């Protein structure tokens, strides 16, 4: 029998065993094991212990550092790294002015490949080891992402963006060609290694009813496919959808009527939903990706997380770059705190970090693979400095309670705190150098 590859990481281990209660500072869902060793065999977590493991283990000592499960970004656009931080527009103008021109360039396979590699290495350098990603309408942009994620061993969910109207030349498909491209991509990439296909409707306005019906048929034909789209992000967008789909009860209902609302669906934003929408979301098992930095930057609105809790649908957290302003999950969680504060709610570090780890994994049906340090999950693990620089260091020193420490970390840290990122037990990012994957 082959000897297993054994790796042990020492540090302060933090993850979640269940969903923390809203506004609960001392939560039984929080699993904090200070100064423990995380044991990894052949890329999987096998356990933890307080004592140093024997010499059969390769030991990496990160004593005094914070070790978390790799973050899961449930909504992010690969080609939009090129337009992050674009000035002065709301959603619909922002798409036309900045985003669509950037996405046109991904028709070129060389641009798509370079973009995919840069994007995934940037995710890893921000401590994000899994993601649900929008590429572009071009088949080559999907191939490039799947191939680059495969080379890095990453959990990646993506699919060709569907849009056959209300988009410029070079960014529209048609129903038949789009269907052929989807089927070919599903055959080649879905459920291979850690890759999965998502039927990817950009948003209701850019697909004809015929194309939405085709997308729904793909989902019905294979229940293992994911679905990703946007919903109820901005008030002008919601009004436009009401004009385009006069027979649907609501924006969300456009998707529900076509069979696109199911337990493997990830809907970004969900700010302008009514009570019936919230009931429908909870009944479907779909999750909403809360994208706070994007919602603030584009002035879209304030997502009501406690209302989502009350309705009973799953919420995960996401960057939505390039509407979002950083791939750093801490930056986005901090913006999430501010969004909730503006609405009179208090977001704990526990609910926020759970949203970027275990909640996302559960929403995707992947909690046996990612999102925690449960034995048997793949070792997607990040090591972080608790504090960097004199201000954060001083704050960390005076923090007494665990929540106080972790909340200060969430508020004051970013990707510069990342020491290393492991994907299935392999180092894929080490500070100041990216480990080039083996071909
Ligand atoms: Zn988006």
pLDDT tens-digit profile of 92-123? 898 999 999 999 999 999 999 999 999 999 99
Q: Ligand 1 mean position to 50 CA, how many Å?
A: 42
- Per-residue pLDDT of 241-283, as tens digits, reads 999 999 999 999 999 999 999 999 999 999 999 999 999 999 9
Nearest by Cα to 15 from 373, 285, 283, 265: 373
Residue 90 has pLDDT above 90, yes or no: no
Average pLDDT of the chain, as a whole number? 96
| pTM assigned to the model | 0.97
Q: Ligand 1 mean position to 230 CA, how many Å?
A: 6
Q: Ligand 1 mean position to 415 CA, how many Å?
A: 21
Give the separation between CA 255 and CA 264, rounded to whole angstroms. Answer: 13
φ, ψ dihedrals at 238, nearest 5°: -60, -40
Could you please report the per-residue DSSP string of 25-67?
Answer: SS-TTEEEEEEEEEEEETTEEEEEESSPP-TTSEEEEEEEEEE
Give the separation between CA 242 and CA 158, rounded to whole angstroms. Answer: 28
Using DSSP's 3-state secondary structure scheme, residue 304 falls into: coil
Give the separation between CA 144 and CA 159, rounded to whole angstroms. Answer: 11
> How high is the pLDDT of residue 439?
54
- Per-residue pLDDT of 150-208, as tens digits, reads 999 999 999 999 999 999 999 999 999 999 999 999 999 999 999 999 999 999 999 99
Using DSSP's 3-state secondary structure scheme, residue 102 falls into: helix
Say which residues have a Cβ less than 8 Å from residue 291's Cβ, sequence separation at least 6.
Answer: 75, 268, 269, 317, 318, 319, 320, 323, 324, 332
Residue 51 has pLDDT above 60, yes or no: yes
Nearest by Cα to 138 from 168, 166, 165, 105: 105
Could you please report the per-residue DSSP string of 129-173?
Answer: EEEEEE--SSHHHHHHHHHHHHHHT-EEEE-PEE--SSS-TTS--
Give the separation between CA 426 and CA 138, rounded to whole angstroms. Answer: 31
CA-CA distances (angstroms) from residue 434 to 120, 128, 130, 427?
11, 14, 17, 9
Q: Ligand 1 mean position to 75 CA, how many Å?
A: 6
Q: Ligand 1 mean position to 332 CA, how many Å?
A: 14
Nearest by Cα to 133 from 268, 330, 326: 268
Residue 401 DSSP label: S
Using DSSP's 3-state secondary structure scheme, residue 364 falls into: coil
Class of residue 324 by CB neighbours under 10 A (exposed 0-12, middle 13-18, buried 19+)? buried
Say which residues have a Cβ less than 8 Å from residue 147's Cβ, sequence separation at least 6.
Answer: 113, 116
As a 3-state breakdown, the chain gives helix, strand, coil percent values, each rounded to 5, of: 40, 25, 35
Q: Ligand 1 mean position to 32 CA, how many Å?
A: 33
Q: pLDDT category, 432, cuts 50, 70, 90? A: confident
Give the separation between CA 422 and CA 382, rounded to whole angstroms. Answer: 6
What residues flank ion ligand 1 with Cβ within 5 A?
268, 320
Give the separation between CA 322 and CA 262, rounded to whole angstroms. Answer: 26
257, 263, 269, 272: CA torsion to nearest 10: 50
Q: Ligand 1 mean position to 303 CA, how many Å?
A: 15
Q: Ligand 1 mean position to 411 CA, how many Å?
A: 24
Nearest by Cα to 284 from 266, 269, 307, 306: 266
> How high is the pLDDT of residue 2?
79
Give the separation between CA 61 and CA 144, rounded to whole angstroms. Answer: 36
Q: Ligand 1 mean position to 343 CA, how many Å?
A: 22
Q: Ligand 1 mean position to 394 CA, how many Å?
A: 37
Could you tell me the two tokens for 413?
Answer: 């840290």
> How high is the pLDDT of residue 437?
64
Residues 29, 14 contacting (CB under 8 angstroms) = no
Q: Ligand 1 mean position to 280 CA, how many Å?
A: 21
Q: Ligand 1 mean position to 187 CA, how many Å?
A: 26
Q: Ligand 1 mean position to 79 CA, how many Å?
A: 11
Give the separation between CA 414 and CA 277, rounded to whole angstroms. Answer: 35
> How high is the pLDDT of residue 435?
60
Q: Ligand 1 mean position to 86 CA, how many Å?
A: 15
Q: Ligand 1 mean position to 90 CA, how many Å?
A: 13
> How high is the pLDDT of residue 382?
98
Residues 199, 215 contacting (CB under 8 angstroms) = yes
Q: Are strands 381-384 and 58-69 parallel, antiparallel or unpaired?
A: antiparallel
Q: Ligand 1 mean position to 255 CA, how many Å?
A: 16
Tallying the residues shown for the chain, one arrives at 439
Nearest by Cα to 371 from 381, 357, 385, 383: 357
Give the separation between CA 128 and CA 105, rounded to whole angstroms. Answer: 25
Other beta carbons within 10 Å of 63:
9
Could you tell me the two tokens for 420?
Answer: 């290393």
Using DSSP's 3-state secondary structure scheme, residue 6 falls into: strand
Nearest by Cα to 304 from 257, 271, 352: 271
Q: Ligand 1 mean position to 135 CA, how many Å?
A: 11
Q: Ligand 1 mean position to 143 CA, how many Å?
A: 20
């Amino acid at each position: 029998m082959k000897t297993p590859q054994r790796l042990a990481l020492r540090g302060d281990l933090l993850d979640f065993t269940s969903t923390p209660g809203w506004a609960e500072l001392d939560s039984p869902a929080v699993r904090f094991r200070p100064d423990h060793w995380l044991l990894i065999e052949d890329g999987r977590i096998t356990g933890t212990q307080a004592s140093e493991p024997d010499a059969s283990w390769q030991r990496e000592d990160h004593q005094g550092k914070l070790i978390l499960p790799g973050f899961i970004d449930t909504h992010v656009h690969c080609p939009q790294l090129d337009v992050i931080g674009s000035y002065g527009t709301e959603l619909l103008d922002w798409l036309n002015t900045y985003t669509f021109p950037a996405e046109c360039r991904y028709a070129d396979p060389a641009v798509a490949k370079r973009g995919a590699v840069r994007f995934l290495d940037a995710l890893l350098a921000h401590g994000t080891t899994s993601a649900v990603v929008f590429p572009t309408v071009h088949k080559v942009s999907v191939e490039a992402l799947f191939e680059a994620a495969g080379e890095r061993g990453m959990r990646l969910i993506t699919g060709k963006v569907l849009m056959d109207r209300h988009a410029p030349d070079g960014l529209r498909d048609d129903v038949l060609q789009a269907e052929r491209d989807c089927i070919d991509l599903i055959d080649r990439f879905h459920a291979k290694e850690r890759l999965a296909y998502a039927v990817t409707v950009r948003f209701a306005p850019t697909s004809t009813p015929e194309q939405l019906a085709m997308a729904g048929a793909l989902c019905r034909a294979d229940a293992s496919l994911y679905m990703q789209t946007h919903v109820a992000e901005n008030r002008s967008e919601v009004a436009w959808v009401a004009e385009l789909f006069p027979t649907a009860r609501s924006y969300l209902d456009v998707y529900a009527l076509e069979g696109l609302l199911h337990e493997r669906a990830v809907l970004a934003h969900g700010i302008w939903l009514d009570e019936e929408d919230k009931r429908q979301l909870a009944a479907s098992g779909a999750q909403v990706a809360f994208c706070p930095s994007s919602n603030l930057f584009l002035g879209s609105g304030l997502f009501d997380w406690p209302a989502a809790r009350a309705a009973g649908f799953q919420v995960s957290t996401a960057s939505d770059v390039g509407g979002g302003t950083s791939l750093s999950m801490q930056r986005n969680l901090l913006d999430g705190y501010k969004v909730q504060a503006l609405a009179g709610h208090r977001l704990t570090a526990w609910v926020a970090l759970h949203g970027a780890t275990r909640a996302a994994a559960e929403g995707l049906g992947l909690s046996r693979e990612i999102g925690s340090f449960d034995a048997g999950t793949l070792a997607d693990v990040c090591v972080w400095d608790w504090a960097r620089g004199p201000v954060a260091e001083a704050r960390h020193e005076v923090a007494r309670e665990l929540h106080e420490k972790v909340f200060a970390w969430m508020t004051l840290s970013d990707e510069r705190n990342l020491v290393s990122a492991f994907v299935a037990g392999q180092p894929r990012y080490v500070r100041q150098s990216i480990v080039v994957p083996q071909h």
